[in-house]
Amino acid sequence: MTLKLAPFLKPTIFPGIRHTSQVDYYEIAAIDRVCFANPWAVDDLTRILKGQYTLSIVAEDRGLIQGYAIYELLPIRVNLLRLAVSPDHRGHGVGTRLIERVKAKLSIGGRLRLKIHVRESNLDAQLFLRSQGFRANKIEHGHFRDTKEDAYVMTYSIDRGDIQ
């Protein structure tokens, strides 16, 4: 027999996903610092998030930011610029919840693809993205300016045609 809980008795599923505000930038920058070799400081985040098409969301549990995604909403696709989960909170589905929220933007308007550049050496991210339905469809040589590392362009697509 399945026990059906009244809505008010259902456990709240954490973390919650919400849009960011400027007060979050310090916490996001702190996570970014431990996740990336080329971290974005508060000033970088402020500049990047002023972009006309740039948006960001955080995964938060009881006031603590566990992860975030920064993305560009273009007319025909979404570019995922940054996605990270703090090391203490990895492996619990936080990255999945963030990416699902970004994927939801694809059904709006004519947006068919979600695209990200991943460092060739970042195998964890590649495996994560594969698990989320992304496929590597192109290599951009020397894409990352700091180390001249190659990028795998990984794309999640909701159309039925070829991925370019």
Ligand X SMILES: CC(C)(COP(=O)(O)OP(=O)(O)OC[C@H]1O[C@@H](n2cnc3c(N)ncnc32)[C@H](O)[C@@H]1OP(=O)(O)O)[C@@H](O)C(=O)NCCC(=O)NCCS
Nearest 5°: phi and psi at 65?
Answer: -80, 125
Q: Which residues bind ligand X (CB under 6 A)?
A: 35, 83-85, 90-96, 122, 124-125, 127-129, 131
- Provide the minimum distance between the beta carbon of 157 and ligand X in the complex, in angstroms, as a whole number: 17
Closer Cβ to ligand X, 54 or 96, answer by number: 96
Q: CA 99, CA 132: separation in Å to the nearest integer?
A: 8
By Cβ distance, which residue is nearest to ligand X? 95
Q: CA 72, CA 4: separation in Å to the nearest integer?
A: 40
- DSSP label at 35? H
Rg (CA), the chain: 17
- Provide the minimum distance between the beta carbon of 1 and ligand X in the complex, in angstroms, as a whole number: 29
Closer Cβ to ligand X, 106 or 110, answer by number: 106
Q: CA 82, CA 76: separation in Å to the nearest integer?
A: 19
Q: Which pair of tokens denotes residue 135?
A: 């496929």
- Provide the minimum distance between the beta carbon of 11 and ligand X in the complex, in angstroms, as a whole number: 19
Closer Cβ to ligand X, 41 or 127, answer by number: 127
- Provide the minimum distance between the beta carbon of 3 and ligand X in the complex, in angstroms, as a whole number: 26
Closer Cβ to ligand X, 90 or 105, answer by number: 90
Closer Cβ to ligand X, 40 or 128, answer by number: 128
- Provide the minimum distance between the beta carbon of 41 and ligand X in the complex, in angstroms, as a whole number: 16
How many residues belong to the chain? 164
Q: Ramachandran region of residue 9, left (φ > 0), alpha (ψ -120 to 50) or beta?
A: alpha
* Nearest alpha carbon to residue 116 among 58, 162, 157: 157
